[in-house]
Structure 1
């Protein structure tokens, strides 16, 4: 079981690493594409600047040259460009935002902002009134700058959702599997149990007061209870039992006679009546699982204390043993289906106990305290009637 757990943990980390690698790859590749587009826009601005320089230097450009220069200038329909002279007088501007005020002061202010991102390109002009070309990314490129992060976030969200969805489906399938297994077990127990009840009635006719008959009858009743427990898994049970004290006391009385005499098993229970809606059969199963785990942890020798008390309108049941205790990892995994520290354990007892308490009784069950070599305390919390 431990090897399987380690393998599953390795798979989880491998999937996480692959997800991270995919997201990083998308962000890097998108960033490279955007940087390439930036360089292409800068080249287009350089071509435009060179065209303006040529126009300034040419004395009488031919019609073909004039047409070419006009095409170069008019082909820029996306890159914002502002041309100022050395005295910050506006000579030309193009592709500014539609809602932008084109007053001289505003245009100059925008040009200075552009210069913080890209240095202005100087154009030498005869007469000394040099010109400066200011430019910025196109609107599309500005939007694309955020796309790698949005895309990475989207992909990461998709993977996380897929992981959550598959895990939920797996848990649901496991739930159906265990419920089906439990019902089939109840069915299989029921067949020989009916036969045993028949033979018991025959034995009663011959010697009704026999000690063996009495004990066998108790065990048959126990088997009937176990069968009923399994049959209730997977269906919503009725919480029609109210006397919580009696449920705990009956379990204590039954278990005390069936565990090692070397275990000092005690019960502390309120003297007043506690009314809590619960299913006696399933709650008895929870208590029995906790006690059996405690007995195993103590290896048949030690002290075992079970106590019931009220706190903040809740009923708490604690099962405290003096056994071997748990490590932090063992405590974190104790209620997971299939997890067991025993060589022959199936890892179902505590997981089913958790399901009974949380899903059927709207309560909680946890390990409230554990220490290696000193023991473990399990705690059940059940809400009082009307709280």
Structure 2
């Protein structure tokens, strides 16, 4: 539980850092663009002041004329249109070439500029006032969207990196659990072979012993468990067809090994259900779900296993009247290493999910759970 809390805390820290980086870039870019906008406005003010000074001076010197011309010529990016009080174009600069000779379109563009920035009025003593219309340069207009575009791409990069690292982690965990399962099967196999040999010797001495018969069943069970573990990590063959037979065998085995205080029932279709599956692995999944349900009920309650068809799918439900789960527990139930039991390793449900997802192309999930009222696990497998 503590590990899960730390994992969620780390995820939130990473998310907040990503958000902070993106917001910082957007804010910094916005500040820079506002600074550039103010600089352009200053340049327009200087240009207007030069034009006004030129008009007010009756006989401007060559130096003044050269200075005004230099100021006017230095503006190579900011669109400027000068209209008289009758809205007739007087001068323009840095406007689209296709409208330079069209007075009507120049006036329309000037009025459009006036919606973004109010025109600057040049007042003269002869009352032939002029109006200077201007707008942002093309570069500045393009830069307006750059913070959001840049922030979007950075966010996508972080999300992709997070997804990539998480995928690598899941792959490594999958290899780890598969390797652990195969090693377990190998470790069980050595003493199991010896036990089978000794069992044959004991049967020769006392062939009718009931104890030997029971031990032989347990040895067979160990052999089945070893075979289950050995199949994890390799692609199993899906040869078994009669799904009812697989379920009934599991039910008969588990019925005799769980508490008598548990009302364990099985509901099957009245006809044979033919679904390609691996009997050994599917039995493991069912057994795992039943044992989890028994643990959740603490040896007393109602346990119901149902098999039914829906559309082209076969559904298997294991419903118990146990302690149920919280939303957080339900989200983490299938994660490798997660367990609500003090002595649990958190392997059972994660391996069950791998068997259903990867080997049978199906789905396994918690379809319903409520604290104090029980949990329902649902397996979905396509019939063909």
Q: TM-score, normalised by structure 1?
A: 0.96
Structure 1 CA distance, aligned partners of 2:319 and 2:123? Answer: 90
Find the counterpart in structure 2 of residue 24 from structure 1.
23
Matches within 5 A, 1:303-318: 303-318=302-317
The structural deviation recorded for 1:332 is 2.2
Matches within 5 A, 1:82-121: 82-100=81-99, 102-121=101-120
Structure 2 CA distance, aligned partners of 1:30 and 1:221? Answer: 71
Find the counterpart in structure 2 of residue 356 from structure 1.
355
Find the counterpart in structure 2 of residue 382 from structure 1.
381
- Range moving further from structure 2, 277-286 or 327-336: 327-336
Find the counterpart in structure 2 of residue 336 from structure 1.
335
Matches within 5 A, 1:87-236: 87-100=86-99, 102-236=101-235
Query: 4+ runs of 1 displaced by more than 6 Å?
Result: none
The structural deviation recorded for 1:101 is 5.4
Instruction: Look up the SS of the partner of 1:266 in the other structure.
Output: strand
Q: Give aligned pairs, total.
A: 384
Instruction: Look up the SS of the partner of 2:263 in the other structure.
Output: strand
When the two chains are superposed, the root-mean-square deviation of aligned CA atoms in Å is 1.3
Matches within 5 A, 1:266-277: 266-277=265-276
Instruction: Look up the SS of the partner of 2:377 in the other structure.
Output: strand
The one-character-per-residue Cα deviations of 1:78-102 (angstroms, maximum 9, x if unpaired) are 0000001111111000100233353
- Range moving further from structure 2, 77-86 or 308-317: 308-317
Q: Per the alignment, do residues 100 and 203 of structure 1 end up closer, same or farther by CA in structure 2, a change over 3 Å counting?
A: farther
Structure 2 CA distance, aligned partners of 1:130 and 1:271? Answer: 98
Q: Per the alignment, do residues 227 and 99 of structure 1 end up closer, same or farther by CA in structure 2, a change over 3 Å counting?
A: farther
Structure 2 CA distance, aligned partners of 1:132 and 1:268? Answer: 88
Structure 1 CA distance, aligned partners of 2:26 and 2:381? Answer: 50
Structure 2 CA distance, aligned partners of 1:101 and 1:337? Answer: 70
Structure 2 CA distance, aligned partners of 1:316 and 1:138? Answer: 65
Find the counterpart in structure 2 of residue 62 from structure 1.
61
Structure 2 CA distance, aligned partners of 1:305 and 1:299? Answer: 16
Find the counterpart in structure 2 of residue 263 from structure 1.
262
Structure 1 CA distance, aligned partners of 2:99 and 2:204? Answer: 105
Structure 1 CA distance, aligned partners of 2:267 and 2:47? Answer: 91
1:78 and 2:77 matched: yes
The structural deviation recorded for 1:369 is 2.1
- Range moving further from structure 2, 109-118 or 256-265: 256-265
The structural deviation recorded for 1:126 is 3.5
Structure 1 CA distance, aligned partners of 2:126 and 2:369? Answer: 90
Structure 1 CA distance, aligned partners of 2:352 and 2:170? Answer: 16
Find the counterpart in structure 2 of residue 3 from structure 1.
2
- Range moving further from structure 2, 29-38 or 356-365: 356-365
Structure 1 CA distance, aligned partners of 2:215 and 2:98? Answer: 93
Structure 2 CA distance, aligned partners of 1:358 and 1:137? Answer: 57
Structure 2 CA distance, aligned partners of 1:77 and 1:371? Answer: 70
Gapped runs of 5+ residues in structure 1? none
Q: TM-score, normalised by structure 2?
A: 0.97
Structure 2 CA distance, aligned partners of 1:173 and 1:54? Answer: 76
The structural deviation recorded for 1:207 is 1.8
Find the counterpart in structure 2 of residue 325 from structure 1.
324
Structure 1 CA distance, aligned partners of 2:142 and 2:125? Answer: 39
Structure 2 CA distance, aligned partners of 1:273 and 1:168? Answer: 40
